Structure 1
Amino acid sequence: MRLRPPPGALAVATIAAGALLSSIAAGAPPDGDDEVEGALPSAAPGAALPAQDADAVSAQPLPPVKPRVELATRPPPLHVEYAQYGVALAAEISLDAGAACPRSGPLYSCILGSGGGLAIRSGYRSPGPWYFGGAYQFTKMDSSNLYRLGIFQQLRAEMRYLPDIGYRAAPYFSAGIGGVIYGNEWGAETGGALIFGGVGVELEVSRRAVLGVSCVYRPVLLAGWKDTANYDRATAIAQFVGFELLLEVRTELGRR
């Protein structure tokens, strides 16, 4: 006897098989989007991180923040020009009197030795690094008692170059030329010419007052002469090292 399925059973089986295939297809991943094992699920923009992820992020060290350094800049120079004048204590150290004091003979006693005195100067200080001026200096020299009062007088034209290094104490270079006379008690028994070059340091006590020291090398050409002992002194090139301790003040002339 042949059995027949109950009416409607075939339709129910067909519906059940379709539903099973649909569930299997929904659980499979789409092509090209295979999951990477161990990868963290990506969070949508704006979504809060899980608690363990937030702790991991907060535990990471932050990159060091470099402090902002403000570079100190010097104010621009005032560009002021001055009349500069003052006085200085001066010393002339004799290195060699030349033919004026021969090493032997009746003229061995040196009539032109070392000495000290005073210098008076004035000049123009430009807004830049230059100073131009003049100076008068007199020094009482050691004359080995051949002169009662041997006075060595100088009249000089001078210049200085003062580079701006940003400090109150500034070094400078100096040079100049001039004329000299020498004799007993402010007399002029001989004369000649000089040149010099040297270095110094100028300390700005205030905008209108400076202190300074300087050292220069000064060769002097002296004409031959007859001294008070009636000795004929030959034309000589005498060499000196000069030192000065100076005090100068400034008067403002204008601004540029």
Structure 2
Amino acid sequence: MRLRPPPGALAVAAIAAGALLSSAAAAAPPDGEVEGALPSAAPDAALPAPDAEAVSAQPLAPVKPRVELATRPPPLHVEYAQYGVALAAEISLDAGAACPRSGPLYSCILGSGGGLAIRSGYRSPGPWYFGGAYQFTKMDSSNLYRLGIFQQLRAEMRYLPDIGYRAAPYFSAGIGGVIYGNEWGAETGGALIFGGVGVELEVSRRAVLGVSCVYRPVLLAGWKDTANYERATAIAQFVGFELLLEVRTELGRR
């Protein structure tokens, strides 16, 4: 005689098996964790909340103000051809042996005078100027000459330090030759050197005004003047003043 399970026994067995599997899954540790290890604490729970009063009580670091230094723009490295004219004055300090203090040659044939200078040269991008000048001056000859003309041909240089202003001082020096005589004649001649100082005012990038003062000793050879007096070889000394106007033509940039 074959026994049959009572009705509903299969359903009861399935329910029991499902409950057993779910309890086993809940008891198993999650992936990557070791059984018995303590769970890690949350990072936010480990740090205490900042105290607003304590933060406000802390002194703030002083903030240094940002200082903008006023800087001058770099100079333009431009080279020029520089040329112009000048009103010139020659003040005689001592005519030397050309005008003795006594005797028939006491009347001085070489006194002070005024005239015009013409010059041209090269102005470097740096502080240097090199050029040449021709100057003629009508001198006081004590009526021994109708028109005593003192002519100079000079090689010149200037040193102009950059001080950042339109008006700049400079130092000048040079050498040259001279001739002297009546009405543009050449009755005597010689050589000169000079050194001096000046100030140059930059009216624009292409025009300058200036004044200068130089000390100029001149060596003159002996000669016979129009009154048939023999003039001895002399070292005459002058102080020269110039009021100049010069313009520039740009040659290039470096």
1:6 equivalent in structure 2 = 6
Structure 1 spans left out of the alignment, 5+ residues: none
Shift of residue 38 of structure 1? 46
Shift of residue 67 of structure 1? 3.0
Kindly tell me: are residues 9 and 73 of structure 1, through their superposed partners in 2, closer, same or farther at Cα, counting changes over 3 Å?
A: farther
Kindly tell me: are residues 40 and 26 of structure 1, through their superposed partners in 2, closer, same or farther at Cα, counting changes over 3 Å?
A: closer
TM-score (norm 2): 0.77
State the identity %.
97
Shift of residue 50 of structure 1? 17
Shift of residue 128 of structure 1? 0.6
Shift of residue 75 of structure 1? 1.1
Mapped to 2, the partners of 1:37 and 1:231 lie a distance apart of: 136
CA offsets per residue over residues 136-155 of structure 1, 9 Å max, x none?
Answer: 00000000111111000000
Kindly tell me: are residues 46 and 96 of structure 1, through their superposed partners in 2, closer, same or farther at Cα, counting changes over 3 Å?
A: farther
Contact 1:215 1:242 survives alignment (8 Å): yes
Contact 1:153 1:182 survives alignment (8 Å): yes
Kindly tell me: are residues 175 and 70 of structure 1, through their superposed partners in 2, closer, same or farther at Cα, counting changes over 3 Å?
A: same
Moved more, 58-67 or 118-127: 58-67
Kindly tell me: are residues 5 and 134 of structure 1, through their superposed partners in 2, closer, same or farther at Cα, counting changes over 3 Å?
A: same
Partner of 2:19, secondary structure, is: helix
Mapped to 1, the partners of 2:139 and 2:34 lie a distance apart of: 103
Kindly tell me: are residues 99 and 58 of structure 1, through their superposed partners in 2, closer, same or farther at Cα, counting changes over 3 Å?
A: same
Moved more, 51-60 or 104-113: 51-60
Kindly tell me: are residues 73 and 28 of structure 1, through their superposed partners in 2, closer, same or farther at Cα, counting changes over 3 Å?
A: farther
Contact 2:90 2:241 survives alignment (8 Å): yes
Shift of residue 177 of structure 1? 0.3
CA offsets per residue over residues 44-72 of structure 1, 9 Å max, x none?
Answer: 99999999999999899977654322111
1:153 equivalent in structure 2 = 151
Kindly tell me: are residues 9 and 254 of structure 1, through their superposed partners in 2, closer, same or farther at Cα, counting changes over 3 Å?
A: closer
Aligned length: 254
Mapped to 1, the partners of 2:78 and 2:207 lie a distance apart of: 14
Shift of residue 78 of structure 1? 1.2
Partner of 2:52, secondary structure, is: helix
CA offsets per residue over residues 161-213 of structure 1, 9 Å max, x none?
Answer: 11111111111100000000000010000000000000000000000000000
Shift of residue 76 of structure 1? 1.2
Shift of residue 74 of structure 1? 1.1
Contact 1:217 1:241 survives alignment (8 Å): yes
Contact 1:43 1:49 survives alignment (8 Å): no
Mapped to 1, the partners of 2:38 and 2:169 lie a distance apart of: 71
Shift of residue 135 of structure 1? 0.1
Mapped to 1, the partners of 2:103 and 2:73 lie a distance apart of: 65
Shift of residue 251 of structure 1? 0.2
Kindly tell me: are residues 84 and 63 of structure 1, through their superposed partners in 2, closer, same or farther at Cα, counting changes over 3 Å?
A: same
Mapped to 1, the partners of 2:86 and 2:15 lie a distance apart of: 123
Mapped to 2, the partners of 1:195 and 1:41 lie a distance apart of: 102
Aligned-residue CA RMSD in angstroms? 9.2
Structure 2 spans left out of the alignment, 5+ residues: none
Contact 2:29 2:35 survives alignment (8 Å): no
Kindly tell me: are residues 126 and 63 of structure 1, through their superposed partners in 2, closer, same or farther at Cα, counting changes over 3 Å?
A: same
Residue correspondence of structure 1 range 168-179 to structure 2 within 5 A: 168-179=166-177
Mapped to 2, the partners of 1:115 and 1:23 lie a distance apart of: 130
Partner of 2:16, secondary structure, is: helix
Kindly tell me: are residues 17 and 249 of structure 1, through their superposed partners in 2, closer, same or farther at Cα, counting changes over 3 Å?
A: same
Mapped to 2, the partners of 1:129 and 1:63 lie a distance apart of: 49
